[in-house]
Structure 1
Amino acid sequence: MFRNLSSQLAAAAAGGNGEKKSMSPTLRSDIYTAVDKTKSWLAGNGKGGSGQAGDGVSYANILSIVQKHFPDAKLGLEGVGQTESEVSVVVSGVTNMVLEMSKWEAMAGGMAMRTWTDALVNAYGMIPGEPGQGPDGRRKESLARGITRGINNTDVGLMTKDFTAKIQIISSLKSLSSRLFGAGSEEARRTEAAFSSKFI
């Protein structure tokens, strides 16, 4: 299922990429709107009717923003209502938007990536409980897996070639796993290795 999802997202990114000659005029504002909406949605605080990941409906609000820039990005029917799947698609889509911006405005893309990874970590931290313990803990685990899976499903071909901005983006993404799982944890080491092989 996730291999298929990854292929869909990569195809979506590649499909829109070949014809673009300049950055979409709404990309920057859409990124920050999507970041804010995703943070509330992941935290599940319900503010502004944001719902929460895994409820089967509220992800569409964010996915519609992603689809303005990557029209083929979608969540298969088998993933609807599954927290990890919904989070993966949303995180991958928003990350692709940031990578796309970095291609046109390298340093702005680097700063946006930092804002995005901070938002993911902050949303994760707002959920009570310890990972794996009780309903909140299981939710936290699903969110963390969805976030890392979403990052792994992004299209690195969209990333800027500017060395400084590229290093900033990669650093933000690589630090994400240790910020979610705890520095030095087995899960953090495994996901950092996966991110390194993908982004470097």
Structure 2
Amino acid sequence: MFRDLLQSNAKGASKERKSISPTLRSDIYTTIDQSKAWLAGTRGQAGDGVSYAPMLNTIKKHFPHATIGLEALGQIEVEVGVIVGGITNMVLEMSKWEALGGGMAMRTWLDTLVNVYATIPQSSKKEIIARGIVRGINQNTDYSLMTKEFTARIQIISCLKSLCPKIYGAGSEESRQAEAMLSSKLI
């Protein structure tokens, strides 16, 4: 349901734009910083239905149709999926215009996700956040935004493929399934 909003808007935005948004780079890094506190629960928390608003507003600036419906408020997996997918789309959009800069931003973004995820105490909420992260990467991301430059593209794909084993553990069933789904989208 949300994937269509993020993808249809991302495709429309990529057709209309003739150059990179002047604030895209700073918006990416600001939103990444905001997501750290949000996921870790130090400023608001995933699932509270409100504290994702600053991140969503920034994402909407670049992809105006990205939204979280009222029926999804308080659903951690959906909220995390939309925010993760939105930030990932912003990074992929940047990679179209600045291939290596986009690759570096993707590395920063995915390292942030892994590091913040590692700090979350073990609980059922941690499992839901993991599913939300993978959902954002696999279902809410528009890979048509990615650069066509070979070297940067390989760097981005490599970063993306390394995420699931770091979240679920190398060789786990969840990791293999998420990686297979991601691979099917990137081929």
- Asked if Structure 1 and Structure 2 have the same fold, meaning a TM-score greater than 0.5 normalized by the shorter chain, the answer is yes
Deviation at 1:40, TM superposition (A): 1.1
Match of residue 16, structure 1, among 10, 13, 17: 13
1:116 is aligned to 109
Does the residue aligned with 1:18 lie in a helix, a strand or coil? helix
What CA RMSD, in Å, does the superposition of the two structures yield over aligned residues?
0.7
Does the residue aligned with 2:47 lie in a helix, a strand or coil? coil
Q: Partners of 2:92 and 2:156 in 1: how far apart? A: 8
Structure 2: gaps spanning 5 or more residues = none
Deviation at 1:161, TM superposition (A): 0.2
1:180 is aligned to 167
| Pairs within 5 Å for 1:30-41 | 30-41=27-38
- Higher RCO (CA 8 Å, separation ≥ 6 residues): 2
Q: Could you tell me the TM-score, scaled by structure 2's length?
A: 0.97
2:74 is aligned to 81
Does the residue aligned with 2:16 lie in a helix, a strand or coil? coil
Q: Partners of 2:36 and 2:154 in 1: how far apart? A: 24
Count of paired positions:
186
Structure 1, residues 57-107: CA drift from partner, whole Å, max 9, x if none?
Answer: 001111001011001100111111110010000000000000000000000
Q: Could you tell me the TM-score, scaled by structure 1's length?
A: 0.91
Structure 1: gaps spanning 5 or more residues = 130-136
Q: Partners of 2:72 and 2:52 in 1: how far apart? A: 11
Q: Partners of 2:173 and 2:76 in 1: how far apart? A: 22
Q: Any runs of at least 4 consecutive aligned residues in structure 1 with deviations exceeding 3 A, and if so which? A: none
1:143 aligns with 2:129: yes
2:152 is aligned to 165
